[in-house]
Chains A and B, each alone.
Chain A
Amino acid sequence: GDSVTQMEGPVTLSEEAFLTINCTYTATGYPSLFWYVQYPGEGLQLLLKATKADDKGSNKGFEATYRKETTSFHLEKGSVQVSDSAVYFCALSPAAGNKLTFGGGTRVLVKP
């Protein structure tokens, strides 16, 4: 079945540092890929998405590129802020279906 693997946290960074969260997936066909973010005390929010190979999703300074050859969708941000402290979830939706399969989540803590 489909699966998503992402790096375990917590990831602790200083403000303005570079952030990378690795995400790889296993799925048949061409799934859509997503990053969701859960800020403390809040619900899941869609951060960005990509629906086909080589697509780059971007939002709020975050970027991720759909790499079919390496089955990856790594999340990056060049300069993090304290307000980026949250749990980040990588997820996929299969080509012929709608349910989301999530990775285990990565907690990111940005210190001033």
Chain B
Amino acid sequence: GAGVSQSPSNKVTEKGKDVELRCDPISGHTALYWYRQSLGQGLEFLIYFQGNSAPDKSGLPSDRFSAERTGGSVSTLTIQRTQQEDSAVYLCASSLASTGGRGSNQPQHFGDGTRLSIL
């Protein structure tokens, strides 16, 4: 289909290892977002990309978390030296760019997520 695609769907790794999560947005969507869904914290914003730049990284919980986006399309979220509290479902969303002004925010379309389990 033409939706947001995330891989892998499930990832189990040992504490201390690095992981990479991938997001392929809907074609033509210039805005891309990463969120985290965990039992204790609900749905939390991590980072927002407009094109290849990230004007809002305010939700990244620590310097172990980083993300990049290349070619205005695919994005990778990297977690270094994973900890057990990083266990969560990581969701990616994409949208058309907002045109600015009141009421212009475009709806975000979500992928099915990557379920990350840290042993």
Binding site for B on A (CB under 8 A): 29-30, 32, 34, 36, 42-46, 49, 51-52, 89, 91, 93, 95, 97-105
Contact = CB atoms under 8 A, between A and B. Distances in A.
B31 interface: yes
A41 to B, nearest CB: 9
Nearest to B42: A104
A49 B98 CA distance: 15
Interface in B51-74: 56, 59
Nearest to B113: A43
Q: Which of A36, A46, A98, A105 has the most CB of B within 10 A?
A: A98
20 contacts: A30-B103, A32-B103, A32-B105, A42-B112, A43-B110, A43-B111, A45-B110, A46-B108, A51-B102, A51-B103, A51-B105, A52-B103, A95-B102, A99-B56, A100-B35, A100-B45, A100-B93, A100-B108, A102-B42, A104-B42
Contacts of B104: 51
Contacts of B33: 98-100
B43 interface: yes
Nearest to A103: B42
A32 B56 CA distance: 18
Contact of A49 (B31, B45, B107, B113): B107
B96 to A, nearest CB: 11
Contacts of A100: 33, 35, 43, 45, 93, 108
Given A98-B48, A105-B43, 10 more contacts: A32-B105, A43-B113, A44-B91, A51-B103, A89-B43, A91-B43, A98-B56, A100-B45, A100-B93, A104-B42
A61 B103 CA distance: 23
Contacts of A32: 103, 105
Contact of A98 (B43, B98, B113): B98
B31 A105 contact: no
Given A99-B45, A100-B33, A43 B105 contact: no
A56 to B, nearest CB: 14
